Amino acid sequence: MNLSKAIMFNAKIAIDLGTCNSLVYVQGKGIVLQEPSVVAVSLTDNKILAVGESAKEMIGRTPSDIKVYRPLKDGVIADYKVTQAMMRYFITKTAGNFRLFKPELVISVPAGITSTEKRAVIEAALSAGAKQAFVAKEPILAAIGAGIPINSCSGHMIIDIGGGTSEVAVISLGGIVTAHSVRVAGDKIDIAIAEYIKKKYNLAIGTQSAEEIKIKVGTALVQKELRYLEVQGRDLILGLPRNIKISNNEVCEAVSDVLAEIIQAAKQVLSETPPELSADIMNKGIIMAGGGSMLPKINELVAQSTGVPCFVAEEPLFCVIKGTGIVLEHLDEYKKVVMSKK
């Protein structure tokens, strides 16, 4: 009840609309919601059955008349209607049924987004019940959330690895100097693990299992100490269930190509960075944010490949939403971030 009252008077909400997870921040309250960006729809009557955690549990387990969607693909809206319903669910869940005061929304979007995709996000927000909607670029938000002083005149480089996109940006004086966005991130890492197991062991596993492998025994560099995880799947030859043990070094081999693409994006940004800013980055190092940067040793791999020191931000998963929250609390100060055309 108090939360609804708080929102009623200062109706400002920030949403980190991610491919994998969405987080909601309410002015004066902090992060109030963290749910997977998943929606389950009943195909017979086109009704939404579940959103978030309860819908994610249904992935790979539904009968033919229920479809589980992830309405955002590669960080952008792939299914407009479902995204709209998901945003409405987030707003209602955080703002209660106070429809008298429509909230103002600040939504994070990938830096590589087109103007059409940006318009789709704003329209989805307005039709979901927002009074006004602003969009802000994820690399800048992640940098603010990671505690980088973005308005200073020195250069800072951030790598934000999410679920659908990985974004690399050099930020100085409150804006993006150079940036590169690749639609290769956490999801592609999961797919690479599933493909590797399919090839090597003739075993089919679901994306949920692949994600579990990544979290429990994932690593970006070969380790001396082997760790194993037992995985269950379906034998592709016999069609029967079977268990295998997979080691951290096998996961490392499975994901190396995907990580190479992200590192290539970082190298491209470094090659396009003005020399003065390159010197700043060399001195301060690269900061990594986003859920993907929680893969063990990934910062060491980046440092080895680029020759630049690399650090993972505190609570990388929350960097973007924290940054969006700070922008929300000081909207006038950060107008440039929200309105920036680049």
Query: Do 164 and 263 fall within a single domain?
Result: yes
pLDDT of residue 307: 95
134-155 mean pLDDT: 90
In a shared domain, residues 53 and 128: yes
Residue 51 and residue 271: Cα distance in Å, rounded? 42
- How many percent of the chain have pLDDT more than 90? 59
| Least confident segment among 201-205, 273-277, 337-341 | 337-341
Q: How far apart are CA 136 and CA 106, in angstroms?
A: 7
| Shared-domain flag, residues 279 and 246 | no
Which structural domain, as residue segments, surrounds residue 169? 145-184+255-316
Are 132 and 153 in the same domain? no
State the pTM of this model: 0.89
Cα 157 from Cα 303, distance rounded (Å): 13
Same domain, 108 and 9: yes
pLDDT in tens, 88-110: 888 888 876 555 678 888 999 88
Encoding tokens for residue 274? 């003005």
Per-residue model confidence as pLDDT tens digits over 278-316: 999 999 999 999 999 999 999 999 999 999 999 999 999
Token pair of 17 as six digits? 């609309």
Q: What percentage of the chain reaches a pLDDT higher than 70?
A: 94
Q: Is 59 helix (H, G, I), strand (E, B) or coil?
A: coil
pLDDT of residue 320: 94
Rg (CA), the chain: 21
Query: Which range, 50-59, 90-99, 148-157, 223-232, has the best average confidence (pLDDT)?
Result: 223-232
132 and 154 belong to one structural domain: no
Query: How many domains, the chain?
Result: 3
Q: What is the mean pLDDT of residues 138-164?
A: 92
Say yes or no: 203 and 312 in one domain: no
Whether residue 46 is found in the same domain as residue 93:
yes
Residue spans of alpha helices (H) in the chain: 2-9, 53-56, 80-95, 115-127, 138-145, 186-201, 207-217, 248-272, 275-284, 298-306, 319-329, 335-339
3-class secondary-structure state, position 168 = strand
| Alpha carbon distances (Å) from 220 to 17, 199, 259, 300, 309 | 26, 20, 8, 8, 16
Residues paired with residue 26 on neighbouring β-strands, in sequence order = 13, 30
Q: What is the mean pLDDT of residues 195-205?
A: 96
Q: Is 267 exposed, middle or buried (0-12, 13-18, 19+ CB in 10 A)?
A: middle
Do 228 and 116 lie in one domain? The reply is: no
How far apart, in whole angstroms, are the C-alpha atoms of residue 108 and residue 43?
Answer: 30
- Residue 49 belongs to domain with CATH number: 3.30.420.40
User: 9 and 104: one domain?
Assistant: yes
Would you state the pLDDT for residue 98?
Answer: 53
**Same domain flag for 283 and 209:** no
